[in-house]
Amino acid sequence: MPEPDGDVLARREAIVAGLRRILLDDGVIADDEGLKPYESDGLTAYRQVPIAVALPRSTREVAEILRYCHDEGVKVVPRGGGTSLSGGALPLADGIVLGLGRLNRVLSIDLANRCAVVQPGVTNLAISQAVAHAGFYYAPDPSSQIACTIGGNVAENAGGLHCLKYGLTTHNVLGIELVTIAGDVIRLGGRHLDAEGYDILAVMTGSEGLLGVVTEVTVRLLRKPATARAVLLGFAGNPAAGACVAKIIAAGIIPAGMEMMDRDAIHAAEEFCHAGYPLDVEAILIVEVDGFPSEVDALVDRVQAIAKGVGATHLRVSHSEAERTALWAGRKNALPAVGRLAPDYYVMDGTIPRRRLPEVLSRIAELSQRYALRVANVFHAGDGNLHPLILYDAAIPGELERAEELGSAILTACVEVGGVLTGEHGVGVEKRDLMGTMFNERDLAHQMRLKCAFDPDARLNPGKMFPTLHRCAELGRLHVHAGQLRFPDLPRF
């Protein structure tokens, strides 16, 4: 992380007092015990106690705090539910944490236009619960959905199990209100579609708290599918499972979810929750089709035919909602289940072109041997998002470091086959030093200049996403000037 600013550290008392003038009594946490819960997020390997935690209750208070920090040169780390798996909300020694948890109200539900306006601290699941009575839901469903907040979902462009058909956060947010580090309040989008002008809404989504603080979100609501059915398939090898996925898509079927688990993950899940998964297979696939009832039945038949055609050795179809839930139980509990296999585990999040899956899995197996650490794999097979779970024991000196190195090697392998470093967890602190495997200096400079347009003094969440911090003045300089380049030899028309 960037070297803490000694001047800011020396002004700690004054800064806390400044925040207390804005938020009064209980809105500022500055005692050691109170700060402790904020020292890390879902990536617990990294810890840092901040100067203070500010807990505003309104957009106005958010704006005043940001303006104060901007004027005083204090860094700000925004935080929602604190569930980031990439260290997105890791505090800075010379910065404050801006907790959005008290902005937790559903402001309005507009079923006529199928949208809801919520504050950023509302949890992902609470949105769906607020509209369930009317048969609606909010589609993205990250596995932390009980705890993660919509503000954090926007910051990370969170995904979930149903992205191939229903998209990520960016496809399901219609508008936001954001506050810039200078304290300006800007509203983007709304209850209408495709607001024109630069798509700052898209840029904010997945910007990991580096560009602005989201204070209100308008989400798109969907009608709950009339029906959903799941098919559980077992395969003797990963290539057959991969072929099954490709053939389902090639047949024009877009499943609502298509999840794959490898042998280690299957065994762990089965032991954990007895979902009835076959234990004599190398891989299972869970394929869920949802929508119009007669169509779902026809597609389930097609999926079964395709699976038989590629040699599925095990096949089970849900005929009721209870059976469907049971089929999913093992997958939904895969992380805690794998977590029981070792004292600690580390979740990776690469995306690859799906057809490269068998070769990437072999590569992971090789790497797992080389680093002498077990790896179980769960895979959002529909959209190519791979979650290798690296098992390790932090109590053994050097094992955490080895797990991190293995993780980097796996992500580098993903990039080498045309994939990316992160599909839904974000770059954060965790993967920032790997950005160079995917982007060259020029690519990164274009991204960093975008940061400069929002936050020229790098006060918002600095140290995340980019391997090195550059000054905006240096990034902005143009190195060619009049008279230095010849007019290119272009044909006229």
Partner 1 sequence: MTDRFRVRDASDLQEAIAWAAAESVPWEIVGRGTKRRLGRPVEAARMLDLGALSGITLYEPDELVLRAGSGTPIEDIEAALAREGQHLAFEPPDFSALFGAGGAGTLGGLVAGNLSGSRRPMAGSLRDHLLGVEAVSGRGEVFKAGGRVMKNVTGYDIPRLMAGSFGTLAVATEITLKVLPRPEATTTLMLGGIATAVALPLLRDLAASAEEPTGLAHLPQSIASEIVGLQSLGSKGDVTVVRIEGTTIGVADRLARVMARCRQHDQRTEVAELPTDAAKHVWRELGGGAPFAAESFRGWDVWRLSVVPSESPAVAARLMAQGGCALYFDWAGGLIWFGHSPRRGLHEAVRGALVAHGGGHATLFRASNDTRRQVPVFQPQPDALAALSRRIKQAFDPRGVLNPGRMYAGV
Q: Which of residues 246-305 bind partner 1 (CB under 8 A)?
A: 246-247, 249-250, 252-254, 291-295, 298-299
Q: Would you say 91 or 175 has its CB closer to partner 1?
A: 175
Residue 169 CB, shortest distance to partner 1, in Å, is 9
Residue 350 CB, shortest distance to partner 1, in Å, is 9
User: Could you say whether residue 159 binds partner 1 (CB under 8 A)?
Assistant: yes
157 closest CA partner among 66, 106, 109, 88: 88
Scanning 310-398, the segments in alpha helix (DSSP H) are 321-332, 334-339, 357-370
- What are 42's two structure tokens? 């879902």
Listed in sequence order, the residues at least 6 apart from 444 whose beta carbon sits closer than 8 Å to its beta carbon are 435, 436, 466, 467
Residue 173 CB, shortest distance to partner 1, in Å, is 11
Q: Would you say 163 or 231 has its CB closer to partner 1?
A: 163
Q: Using CB under 8 A, pick the residue from 6, 397, 398, 491 that binds partner 1.
A: 491
Contact letters (x/-) for partner 1, 432-451, by CB under 8 A?
---x--xx--xxxxxx-xxx
Q: Using CB under 8 A, pick the residue from 146, 186, 279, 396 that binds partner 1.
A: 186
Listed in sequence order, the residues at least 6 apart from 453 whose beta carbon sits closer than 8 Å to its beta carbon are none
* Contacts to partner 1 from residues 22-61, by CB under 8 A: none
* Contacts to partner 1 from residues 344-403, by CB under 8 A: 351-355, 380, 382-385
Supply φ then ψ for residue 387, to 5 degrees. -120, 85
148 closest CA partner among 204, 87, 84: 84
State how beta strands 213-220 and 115-118 pair. Answer: antiparallel
**Distance in angstroms between the alpha carbons of the first and the last residue of the chain:** 53
Binding part of the chain for partner 1, among 77-85, 204-212, 263-271, 311-319 by CB under 8 A, reads 204-212
Q: How many CA atoms lie within 13 A of 193 on its CB side?
A: 5
Q: Would you say 17 or 251 has its CB closer to partner 1?
A: 251
Q: Count of residues binding partner 1 (CB under 8 A)?
A: 106
User: Could you say whether residue 487 binds partner 1 (CB under 8 A)?
Assistant: yes
Q: Would you say 43 or 273 has its CB closer to partner 1?
A: 43
User: Could you say whether residue 471 binds partner 1 (CB under 8 A)?
Assistant: no
173 closest CA partner among 133, 129, 122, 103: 122
User: Could you say whether residue 105 binds partner 1 (CB under 8 A)?
Assistant: no
Q: How many CA atoms lie within 13 A of 407 on its CB side?
A: 24
- Angle formed by the axes of helices 399-416 and 357-370, nearest 10°: 150
Q: Using CB under 8 A, pick the residue from 167, 237, 278, 358 that binds partner 1.
A: 167
Binding part of the chain for partner 1, among 28-36, 38-46, 124-132, 426-434 by CB under 8 A, reads 426-434
Binding part of the chain for partner 1, among 2-10, 143-151, 152-160, 321-329 by CB under 8 A, reads 152-160
Q: How many CA atoms lie within 13 A of 83 on its CB side?
A: 22
Listed in sequence order, the residues at least 6 apart from 106 whose beta carbon sits closer than 8 Å to its beta carbon are 116, 117, 118, 119, 122, 126, 127, 130
* Contacts to partner 1 from residues 312-331, by CB under 8 A: none
Sequence-separated contacts (24+) of 476-485 with Cβ below 8 Å: 476/449, 476/452
Q: Using CB under 8 A, pick the residue from 20, 57, 191, 374 that binds partner 1.
A: 191
User: Could you say whether residue 484 binds partner 1 (CB under 8 A)?
Assistant: yes
User: Could you say whether residue 4 binds partner 1 (CB under 8 A)?
Assistant: no
User: Could you say whether residue 10 binds partner 1 (CB under 8 A)?
Assistant: no
Residue 374 CB, shortest distance to partner 1, in Å, is 25
User: Could you say whether residue 190 binds partner 1 (CB under 8 A)?
Assistant: yes
| Residue pointed to by tokens 């009835």 | 276
Q: Would you say 119 or 170 has its CB closer to partner 1?
A: 170
- What are 369's two structure tokens? 């041997």
- Angle formed by the axes of helices 321-332 and 263-273, nearest 10°: 120
Q: Would you say 36 or 449 has its CB closer to partner 1?
A: 449
User: Could you say whether residue 473 binds partner 1 (CB under 8 A)?
Assistant: no
Q: Would you say 104 or 447 has its CB closer to partner 1?
A: 447
Residue 15 CB, shortest distance to partner 1, in Å, is 26
Q: Would you say 400 or 445 has its CB closer to partner 1?
A: 445
State how beta strands 283-291 and 227-235 pair. Answer: antiparallel
**Secondary structure of residue 317 in the 3-state scheme:** strand
User: Could you say whether residue 149 binds partner 1 (CB under 8 A)?
Assistant: no
Q: Using CB under 8 A, pick the residue from 40, 124, 180, 318 that binds partner 1.
A: 180
78 closest CA partner among 241, 208, 245: 208
* Contacts to partner 1 from residues 54-73, by CB under 8 A: none
Q: Using CB under 8 A, pick the residue from 322, 395, 473, 482 that binds partner 1.
A: 482
> Can you point out the beta strands (E) in 49-199?
52-54, 75-79, 95-99, 106-110, 115-118, 136-137, 173-179, 185-189
